[in-house]
Amino acid sequence: MKIGRVTGTVVSTIKYEDYRGFKLLKVRPIDLEGAFSGEEVVALDAANAGVGDTVLINNDGGSAQMVMGDKKLVASVTICGVVDHYTYCGKTTFTH
């Protein structure tokens, strides 16, 4: 799992049937000090996140199936939580 920030949305006119009802969002990983630290990815949103939110992303297909409640689902990156705050080296960072 990694922490990331939602940077945008993905709009598709045709979507895999099992993805209906879920947003696709662009997410870029951040380090624990809040700076971007990796490549932007497209993630299936299971946490009702929005642009600008700090989120917990999971990069594992098996976990995506569990979070989404669908054993047939094909997804590698899933947003599984919106982060309200985190503490690193004694410093608490509030994300909202």
Q: Is 64 exposed, middle or buried (0-12, 13-18, 19+ CB in 10 A)?
A: buried
Give 84's pLDDT tier (boundaries 50, 70, 90): very high
Alpha carbon distance 26, 45 (integer Å): 10
Residues 40-82 have pLDDT tens digits of: 999 989 899 999 999 999 887 666 677 667 777 767 788 989 9
Question: Domain-by-domain residue ranges, the chain?
Answer: 2-94
CATH top-level class for 2-94? Answer: mainly beta
Class of residue 60 by CB neighbours under 10 A (exposed 0-12, middle 13-18, buried 19+): middle
The terminus-to-terminus CA distance of the chain in angstroms comes to 21
